[in-house]
A and B are shown apart, each in its own frame.
Chain A
Amino acid sequence: MVGPDQPLLPGTEAPGTEFVRKADEIVRQYPVSRRSAALPLLHHWQQEFGFVSQRAVEWISERLGLKPIHILELVTFYPMLRVRPGGKINFKVCRTLSCALAGSHDLFAQIRERCGATATAGHGMYVSPDGAYSVEFVECLAACGTPPAMMVEEEEFERATIDTVERILAKRQASRATGGA
């Protein structure tokens, strides 16, 4: 949560040419009101830089001819927007009833233990001390028929278990070892 004790990080991100080109493309999708592009640009920023900083708020508000508060009020409202970097691998586990009945809370505890995600990062997110891993609960992911539902970045997993988590970790480790993304 953003508040007096946890303000936005100042941020030193420098949007590149490709980022700006994509931003302009997004704004063009809202011919009636540029303000509609506020949330899409926040998504765009977070995808590129990992979280929303003060710099993001200023850059986007300037781009859309808005006051910074018009952007900040979205950051404090929409749960998917982050004001702190998450872990390099972030696990989102569904907390809501159908997944809970299928053991999602146990899965959450197992991931925390496996990744050593002990420190709280606000908004119910836990991160490992080295910042490599984070895990958070999210509300219903609309995959209740194949529970527990889990997301890692953009990828969705159904019937997730700790084995699923192990496979994801092994894959990441392998791709890092070969210098992949």
Chain B
Amino acid sequence: MAEIGTAKGPAAEHRIILRYADEPDYTTDIDCYLRHGGYEQLRKALSMEPAAIVAEVKASGLRGRGGAGFPTGTKWGFIDHAKNQKPVYLLCNADESEPGTFKDRQIIYKDPHQLLEGMIISSYANRAHLAYIYIRGEMVRGAQILERALAEARAKNFLGENILGSGYDLDMFVFRGAGAYICGEETGLIESLEGKRAYPRIKPPYFPAVLGLYLCPTIVNNVETLCNVKHIVEMGGAAYAKIGTPNNTGTRIWCVSGDVRRPGYFEYDGGAITMGELLYDVCGGIRDGNRLKAVIPGGSSAKVLRAGETYRIRRKNSQGTMEEVEMKLEDLPLDFDTIAASGSMSGSGGIIVMDHTRDMVECLNNLSAFYAHESCGQCTPCREGALWMHKILDRMAEGEGRPEDPQLLLDLAEQIAGRTICAFGEACSWPVESFVAKFREEFEAKAAKEHERLQPAC
């Protein structure tokens, strides 16, 4: 691995969250965790005022790692503890289902106590006395690992009544989903946990911090986000904020899959590595000596980026004034703001790579099948539109395309986004909009070819 910040190679990985996960002797039991300084930050946190922890998290600049990148401290600040009379709940969103994302899995399966410590500290900071981990149903082993970790933590009084003599009580349980992607949407997750279909709630009025689980104030945070809280308590918010770049603080775990030689997950400081360095230096380049064609930078819902594109990125320079620079895809530093400025999003950190041999209609059709299957069915534009877009793409892929199909896809996508209760409308539209717009010639060829085939064969 190259040295940090050299001009020759990419920065080295900076593993905070995954520090121990892949060490050969590191195990998931509590004794191993305690040998590695486990639950020391919980002791420290319990000696602090809850409001002081919230202040540290605010100062850290931590942004949610689940996809939206919302500032965690701001989210926590929405609960007004001076006025609130209701119980507060803390939920961990471990429903990792965004195609291309497999980072939370590493934490749950290899370092479960880190998540529990982060959750107990976060529950204390938000004055919650009941917390649930909502884990996707397919991670049966993950749920078992967490159940065992919870039992171990209870036995050592890191959970339960009067935790470590602090007077603070907290109970925590694992809840398993059952294969529905929409449960990753926080209000859908809440409905699911209430024993209902995971129909997302409309906001306003159902902001989780106001009317969440059982219509009480509720904090919903991603696995990686909650783990970060432990490290913020350890190093202090100000020190944490020095990692990465302003507004993109801390590390992020990037998951690379698809057509690279060495796919995997890699933890880097915010903005410390570019897309090109990650794909070519870290992941060994495109498989079989092929050329890069397209990258989905932040889970399947993020807009696709095309190889050879350049972007006008507005950013703060070292003097603190705004400047606009032109960047190639390979030069984009990986962080929230730059990827957003490129017209996409870094979302959940799931980077899917497609090489020049891939048919973009087929790739998009694969994703559209996902969204057609996963729409919860509550809002008409999404329920009908996601399925309709899939039908069109399916017929194009099958060689039954029509000349009007590319434009029809764009028109449909445009009429879904912004017209639904939750962000699934955008999630299913953005891939369609970006694939068709950026690879228009491929979609038109697919449609036109069929048009020719339909001519009489004589």
The answer on a CB contact under 8 Å between A97 and B366 is yes
The answer on a CB contact under 8 Å between A78 and B366 is no
- Contacts A29-B173, A36-B193 given; indicate if A80 touches B102 (C-beta within 8 A): no
The answer on a CB contact under 8 Å between B100 and A144 is yes
Among B77-85, B194-202, B383-391, the one that faces the other chain is: B194-202
- Contacts A79-B180, A97-B352, A98-B100 given; indicate if A142 touches B366 (C-beta within 8 A): no
The answer on a CB contact under 8 Å between A40 and B175 is yes
Contact of A145 among B136, B265, B363 (CB under 8 A): B265
The answer on a CB contact under 8 Å between A144 and B214 is no
A33 to B192, CA, bound (A): 13
The answer on a CB contact under 8 Å between B195 and A39 is yes
- Contacts A74-B197, A77-B197, A154-B141 given; indicate if A144 touches B179 (C-beta within 8 A): no
Contact of A32 among B179, B197, B214 (CB under 8 A): B214
The answer on a CB contact under 8 Å between A142 and B101 is yes
Find residues 26-84 in chain A having any chain B CB closer than 8 Å to their own CB.
29-33, 35-40, 42-43, 64, 66, 70, 73-74, 77-81
Within 8 Å of chain A (Cβ to Cβ): is B369? yes
- Contacts A97-B300, A142-B96 given; indicate if A33 touches B195 (C-beta within 8 A): yes
Within 8 Å of chain A (Cβ to Cβ): is B264? yes
Please indicate the chain A residues that have their CB under 8 angstroms from the CB of B366 in the complex. Answer: 95-97, 100
Please indicate the chain B residues that have their CB under 8 angstroms from the CB of A155 in the complex. Answer: 141
The answer on a CB contact under 8 Å between A43 and B178 is yes
Among B117-125, B231-239, B254-262, B329-337, the one that faces the other chain is: B254-262
Within 8 Å of chain A (Cβ to Cβ): is B367? yes
The answer on a CB contact under 8 Å between A139 and B370 is yes
Within 8 Å of chain B (Cβ to Cβ): is A165? no
A39 to B22, CA, bound (A): 33
The answer on a CB contact under 8 Å between B137 and A43 is yes
Find residues 142-156 in chain A having any chain B CB closer than 8 Å to their own CB.
142-147, 151, 154-156
For this complex, 21 residue pairs linking A to B, each with C-beta atoms less than 8 Å apart, are A29-B173, A36-B175, A39-B175, A39-B192, A43-B176, A74-B195, A78-B177, A80-B179, A97-B100, A97-B366, A98-B100, A101-B363, A139-B181, A142-B102, A144-B255, A145-B102, A147-B257, A147-B263, A154-B140, A155-B141, A156-B141
The 8 residue pairs across chains A and B that have the minimum distance between CB atoms = A78-B178, A144-B257, A35-B195, A80-B179, A79-B179, A98-B257, A38-B195, A80-B178
